[in-house]
Amino acid sequence: MQEKTLITQEIGSFRKPEYLSRKFHTIEGKKEFYDLAKKATVETIGLFENAGLENLGVGGEMFRWEMYEHLAANVEGLEFYGMVRSFDNRYYKKGSVVGPIQRRSPFHLDELEFLLSNSKGKLKVPVTGPYTMMDWSFNEHYGDRLELANAYADAINHEVRELKKAWEKVRGDEVLEIQIDEPAATTHPAEMDIVVESVNRSFEGIGNIEPTIHVCYSVDYRYLYNTLPDLKVQGLNLEYANRDRHSRGVDVEKRPGYADLKAFSEVNQTLSKPKFIGLGVTDVHIDFIEPVDLIRDRIETAVKLIGDPDLVRVNPDCGLRTRSRETGLEKLKNMVLATEIVRKNF
Amino acid sequence: MTKLLKLVHGIYPKTEKLRVRIGRWERGIMPAKDLNDLIQDEVDSFEKNALDLNIDSYTDPLFNWFDIFRPLSVIAKGIELGPLTRFGETNTFYRLPELKGELGMDAKPSEYSEIEENLPLPLYHVGDFSRAVAFFPGPETFYTMALDIAGKGFEAFSGDLGKYYSSIISSFRFRKLLIFEAVQLKSPQPLAFYSHLPVENTILFTTGPLNDGLFSGIKGKFHSILSTPAGNNLEIAAKHSLIPGVEILNGNNTKLENPVEVRSKLLELGTKYNLDRLYVTNTNYLDFLPRPIADRKLEILSKVGE
């Protein structure tokens, strides 16, 4: 049961201050890095609180550079041979799995421990998902893609257990929110069973946590919705604003970006324990600050389609690290204001 | 014994030096002309390496193509660039070509010039036309991976595309061209397309299973039809082309093939189908791999054909 309707939350990353981003790679792992990452985290939490955000995530992922590389750097079994093109002249490091995947060192423990000693607010820890790690790696070692995804899942499960221990020391029996980031989840529609099995395995045997999944820029979310009966997460934090219009209105025709929530709702209604949607209401790829009334219309449309405001949380489409900190703050502020307006109607 | 001919095709990954320089050019701190000179140097060195490794044929490494459609879309009348779109099931993206009108040429493809949304022309930089082959995305791939806003339809688009490619080829001295079909072929090879292009000088890269129906109506034989060795692909490729080819070096995985095993498998296929010559080539193009791995794969290709 949620304690509040329409909780506002961050998805994960937020633009790093320049004093950290400029030096990140040269000082990573050294004392100066931790000093600057902590400073940036405190400042970003302050910024989120200033925007009125209820769930502070991990303060904008100041300890991490990139979702794939961060996890990859902390597991055994991966080799990096060079950069691979993402698009145009943008490249990323894609690892090759050359041996058994095993957690070598904690992925996010330092980040969480710091947050726990510096914030009493609601937190949510994003962890890159096993399917995405598998899909974004070359596989030279495992027999098939399921086997590799499950190997990543075991490493993630190990990490979540360690996070849980650190969490319990400070927060006792409060539920730990873990968001599995799976941008690749619907890339290969024929492999949704691998997504389900590996994501479930990442949480297997770990109690008192709230697992969620974040997916973005999917060609068709229905592949994901259809897995709801088997996917052991409590909510889906998804991108929608990017595919929506800027005109106003709460009809599905006026809000094409949110139309497929009908398909979500149809599956969700068949579940004994329905899942919630973390609703992307602000586009992280444009500087346009969505006005409050536009975001309000988006939330109202979603609530209408889902039928229960307790099953809706409100967030940006994806991590806001793509925008400047100033633009990110303005987007979050409007998101919070719009949510408050919608809340008053219930 | 079957003679194995080594062929490498498609966009080849860039060196780190070139990537960094392109970044400088994007930020406006390196002149386009200087960047073009560097691209020419890098292509020259690719060709020298291919010669040293005794690679029989290669397409231009396309170092100045942001994706397999980009410069072709940019210099064409009737095509505009749409949003970034996932390339098949990879984690690489291309700009969606939006087909909006009559297809025509809007540039001189063999001359240096700066163009929007891509690195400068010329379209190709290779110089050894005895080995180098022109590269083009195939009509079915282009049409399937584009958005037909004008509602032209596949057949009509194919005819226009053949004419467009023909006008490009006439600006260069290529003797052969490679038509790259990244999608599984569903339609018979479009006659409207090949009415503008020499089938006998065309190497057709295919994806997925082949059947005779795909080549119905084509007069004469392709120079080569490249396919995976699954099912009866090789038999069909041999029937409809002068020299069939096998896609065997994995362009999607860093795992290095064993050249002795690959050679032995290919020679076995050559004997089975009584082939005097057989092309051996990469599956997907090698831009999906880090450059050091692509270089190693090229060496393996060389050893396969020894």
Distance from CA of A96 to the nearest CA of B (A): 7
Give me the mean pLDDT over the A38-55 stretch. 98
**DSSP secondary structure, A231-278, as one string:** ---SEEEE--GGGS-SS--SSTTT-GGGTTHHHHHHHHTTSSSPPEEE
Give the one of B16, B92, B293 whose C-beta lies nearest to A85's C-beta: B92
For chain B, the C-alpha Rg in angstroms (whole number) is 19
The structure tokens listed for B267 are 């020679």
d(Cα A276, Cα A212) in Å, to the nearest integer?
9
Sign of the Cα pseudo-torsion (A141, A142, A144, A149, in order): negative
Residue B282 DSSP SS3: strand
Locate the chain A residue with the closest alpha carbon to B69.
Answer: A88
- Does A2 score more than 70 pLDDT? no
CB < 8 Å to B86, chain A: 187, 219
Give the residue on A whose Cα is nearest the Cα of B119: A88
3-class secondary structure per residue, B215-249: HCCCCCCECEEEECCCCCHHHHHHHHECCCEEEEE
Burial of A266 (0-12, 13-18, 19+ CB in 10 A): exposed
Q: Which whole-number Å values give the CA distances from A127 to A177, A202, B10, in the listed order?
A: 11, 10, 36
**Of residues A83, A96, A135, nearest to B91 (C-beta):** A135
Topology annotation, domain B3-304: TIM Barrel (3.20.20)
| Chain B residues whose beta carbon lies within 8 Å of the beta carbon of residue A138 | 252-255
- Residue pair A108/A125 in contact (Cβ under 8 Å)? The answer is yes
Contact B69, B141 (CB under 8 A): no
Residue A42 to residue A119: CA distance in whole angstroms: 9
Q: Which residues pair with B79 in a beta bridge?
A: B99
Nearest-Cα distance to chain A for B257, in Å, is 11
Domain range summary for chain B, segments of one domain joined by +: 3-304
Query: Which chain A positions have a beta carbon within 8 Å of B93's beta carbon?
Result: 86-87
Q: Which residues pair with A79 in a beta bridge?
A: A96
pLDDT at A1 over 50: no
CB contact under 8 A, B253 and A81: no
CB contact under 8 Å between A87 and B84, yes or no, is yes
Considering only CB atoms, B293 lies closest to which of A81, A139, A187, namely A81
Helix (H) or strand (E) holding B93: strand B93-105
Q: Is A65 helix (H, G, I), strand (E, B) or coil?
A: coil
Pick from A56, A60, A54: nearest CA to A7: A54
Chain A residues whose beta carbon lies within 8 Å of the beta carbon of residue B252: 138
CA distance A334 to chain B (A): 27
> Which of B12, B65, B91, B288 has the highest number of chain A CBs within 10 A, making it the mutation to test binding with A?
B91
Distances in Å between the alpha carbon of A116 and those of A8, A48, A208, B15, B202? Answer: 20, 16, 17, 44, 65
Residue in chain B closest to A142 (alpha carbons) equals B255
Task: Count the alpha carbons within 13 Å of B186 in the hemisphere toward its beta carbon.
Answer: 6
Q: Which of A264, A260, A261, A255 is nearest to A290 (CA)?
A: A255
Measured CB to CB, residues of chain B less than 8 Å from chain A are 13, 16, 19, 22-23, 26, 66-67, 84, 86, 89, 91-94, 252-255, 287-293
What average pLDDT is seen over chain A? 96
Q: Contacts of residue B292 in chain A, CB cutoff 8 Å?
A: 81-82
Chain A residues whose C-beta is within 8 A of a chain B C-beta are 81-89, 91, 94, 96, 135-136, 138-140, 184, 187-188, 219
- Contacts (Cβ under 8 Å, ≥6 apart) of B67: A87, A88, B11, B87, B93, B94, B95
Residue A98 has pLDDT above 80, yes or no: yes
Nearest C-alpha neighbor of A277 from the set A321, A214, A325, A227: A214
Residue of A82, A87, A89 lying closest to B92 (CB–CB): A87
pLDDT score at A3: 63
Identify the pLDDT of residue B83: 85
Q: Where are the alpha helices (DSSP H) in chain B?
A: 16-26, 32-52, 70-74, 139-144, 154-169, 191-194, 233-240, 259-272, 291-304
In angstroms, the separation between the Cα of residue A166 and the nearest Cα of chain B is 35
Strands B245-249 and A312-315: unpaired
Contact A20, A37 (CB under 8 A): yes
Number of residue pairs across A and B with CB atoms under 8 Å? Answer: 60
Percent of the residues in chain A that have a pLDDT greater than 70, as a whole number? 99
Asked if residues A85 and A18 have their Cβ atoms less than 8 Å apart, the reply is no
pLDDT per position as a tens digit, A197-222: 999 999 999 999 999 999 998 889 99
pLDDT under 70: residue ranges of chain B: none
Question: If we measure between CA atoms, which residue out of A323, A316, A343, A332 comes closest to residue A48?
Answer: A332
Q: Given a cut of 50, is residue A260 above it in pLDDT? A: yes
Domain A18-64+106-344 class in CATH: alpha beta
Contacts of B289 (CB under 8 A, 6+ apart): A84, B13, B251, B252, B253, B254, B297
Q: Which residue has the tokens 């002795």?
A: B260
Cβ <8 Å between A82 and B293: yes
Question: To the nearest whole angstrom, how far is the Cα of A201 from the nearest Cα of chain B?
Answer: 24
Q: Across the interface, do B288 and A84 touch by the CB < 8 Å criterion? A: yes
Burial of B198 (C-beta count, 10 Å sphere; 0-12/13-18/19+): middle
State pLDDT tens for residues B111-144.
999 999 999 999 999 999 999 999 999 999 999 9
The complex's ipTM?
A: 0.93
Q: Are B119 and B39 in contact (CB under 8 A)?
A: yes
A184 to chain B: nearest residue by CA?
B91
| CA-based nearest residue in chain B for residue A136 | B91
* Residue B116: Cβ within 10 Å count: 7
| A138–B255 CB contact, under 8 Å | yes
Q: Where are the domains of chain A?
A: 18-64+106-344
Chain B residues with beta carbon closer than 8 angstroms to that of A187: 86, 89, 91
Residue B134, helix vs strand vs coil: strand
Q: Give the CA distances from residue A260 to residues A167, A237, B87, B165, in Å, rounded to whole numbers and listed in that order.
A: 36, 14, 24, 41
Query: Across the strands, what pairs with A238?
Result: A215, A279
Residue B88 has what pLDDT?
Answer: 86
Q: What is d(CA A62, CA B283) in angstroms, rounded to the nearest whole number?
A: 40
CB contacts, 8 Å: B253 with chain A: 138-140
Strands (E), chain A: 75-79, 83-87, 90-93, 96-103, 125-128, 138-139, 176-181, 209-215, 235-238, 276-280, 312-315
Q: Do B92 and A84 touch (CB under 8 A)?
A: yes
Q: Do A138 and B92 touch (CB under 8 A)?
A: no
Max intra-chain CA distance, chain B: 57
Side-chain-side CA neighbours of A84 within 13 Å: the count stands at 26
Residues of B in contact with A135 (CB under 8 A): 91
Amino acid at the residue B74: V
